[in-house]
Amino acid sequence: MNSLAEIDRLINQLVQSGFALQGALCKTFYKKFGEDALPIISEVFSTAGVRMGENLSGRTLMKSLKEVGEAFVEMLQSVHTLPVDPVEISEEKIHFKALTCPYRLEGEGRALCEAVMAHMAEMLSVAVGREVQIDIPKTLAAGDKYCENIITLKTTTFNPEPRSSSATLTSVAPVPEATTT
């Protein structure tokens, strides 16, 4: 019989494989459709982020940015192959650096990173109950040596309905309405 440590290791490998698969799909979609793919990727990841945030907030009583940040960084530690460096976790800011990308977007470009990261903005907004702003000063996707994310609370009111992430990552445009022919 497998030990709990072995089971935990196997589950972690499955989670990492899932992130890598999502990243591979995004990279392929982006290469095929270019900039037109970014709002679609952002919308899909935003919707997933809302669901993840509902799941997180439904299981915990955390509502402060600090409490959510501590749980979030702990979760990040489990999906990155190298440790995540929590630079600052406070009531005002979640700031961390990571040496790996679970989506394996290294060298794929900042725009794709920002589209994929839309899920994080939505997840944390739902979990905290307030809209957050994510700044990404450094990203492996743009060729930097590490990823750096700074999450702060926005002063606007928050509506936890699924939406595009146009307010959270300003360089990603909202998804255009579909037209029928």
Cβ–Cβ < 8 Å for 140, 97: no
More confident residue, 156 or 42: 42
Residue 67: alpha-carbon gap to chain centroid: 17
Domain assignments of the chain as residue spans, ordered by start = 4-153
Hey, which residues does 150 pair with through a beta bridge? 95, 135
Summarised one tens digit per residue, pLDDT across range 89-119 is 999 999 999 999 989 999 999 999 999 999 8
More confident residue, 139 or 177: 139
Mean pLDDT for all residues in the chain: 81
More confident residue, 8 or 60: 8
* Burial label, 161 (beta-carbon count in 10 A; 0-12, 13-18, 19+): exposed
Record the tokens describing residue 48, joined without a space.
Answer: 């997933």
Percent residues over pLDDT 90 in the chain:
44
pLDDT value at position 73? 85
DSSP secondary structure code for residue 175 in this structure? P
pLDDT value at position 145? 96
Architecture of domain 4-153: 2-Layer Sandwich (3.30)
Q: The pTM is what?
A: 0.74
Summarised one tens digit per residue, pLDDT across range 37-57 is 999 999 999 998 898 888 776
C-alpha distance from residue 115 to each of 10, 106, 166 (Å): 29, 14, 10
More confident residue, 124 or 166: 124
C-alpha distance from residue 124 to each of 41, 64, 141 (Å): 18, 11, 22
Amino acid in position 28: T
Closest CA to 172 of 131, 123, 125, 119: 119
Residue 146: phi and psi, rounded to 5, are -160, 165
Cβ–Cβ < 8 Å for 110, 136: yes
Kindly give the residue spans of alpha helices, DSSP state H, lying in the chain: 4-33, 37-59, 65-79, 110-116, 118-128
pLDDT at position 88 over 70? yes
Mean pLDDT of 79-88: 82
More confident residue, 175 or 116: 116
Hey, which residues does 152 pair with through a beta bridge? 93, 133
